[in-house]
Amino acid sequence: MKDKWAKRVFQAAAGTTFLILLGLTFFLFREGMPALYRSPYEELVFAVHPANPVQQLSTNAVRSLVRGEKSWRELGGPDTPAVAVHLGNIERYLSGPFLPGQLQRKLDSLAHLSGIFLALPASLMPGFAKRIRVPWRGGAEIFGSSRWSPTYEPVPAVGFWPLLVGSLWVGAIGLFVVVPLGIAMAIYVVEFLPARLYYPVKVMWEVLAGLPSVVVGFWGLVIVVPWVQRLFHLSAGETALTAGLLLGWMTLPLMASLVEEALQAIPQLLYESSYGLGATQWQTILRLKIPYILPSIATATLLSAGRILGETMVVLMVSGNAPILPLSPLDPVRTLPATLAAELGEAPVGSYHYHVLFLMGVFLFLLTLALNLTAYFIRPRDEKA
Q: pLDDT at position 385, please? A: 46
156: left (phi over 0), alpha (psi -120 to 50) or beta: beta
Q: Residue 130: name the closest of 39, 72, 79, 56 by CA.
A: 56
Number of Cβ within a 10 Å radius of residue 99: 8
In this structure, what DSSP letter does residue 75 have? Answer: G
Q: Are 298 and 368 in contact (CB under 8 A)?
A: no
Which runs of consecutive H residues, i.e. helices, occur in 39-99?
A: 59-67
Residue 103, amino acid: L
| Residues of the chain under the 70 pLDDT cut | 1-3, 95-101, 379-385
Q: Residue 174: name the closest of 307, 331, 371 by CA.
A: 307
Q: pLDDT at position 233, please? A: 92
86 φ, ψ (degrees, to nearest 5) = -145, 180
Per DSSP, which regions of the chain are E strands? 44-48, 83-86, 116-121, 130-132, 148-149, 157-158
Residue 297, amino acid: I
Dist. CA 209–CA 215, nearest whole Å: 12
Dist. CA 104–CA 101, nearest whole Å: 5
Number of Cβ within a 10 Å radius of residue 315: 32
Q: Are 333 and 320 in contact (CB under 8 A)?
A: yes
Label residue 320 exposed, middle or buried (CB < 10 Å: 0-12, 13-18, 19+). buried
Dist. CA 317–CA 16, nearest whole Å: 36
Radius of gyration of the chain (CA): 29
Please name each of the domains of the chain with its CATH number.
Answer: 44-137 (3.40.190.10), 161-384 (1.10.3720.10)
Q: pLDDT at position 251, please? A: 92
145: left (phi over 0), alpha (psi -120 to 50) or beta: beta
- Cis bond upstream, residue 154 (ω within 30): yes
Q: pLDDT at position 1, please? A: 60
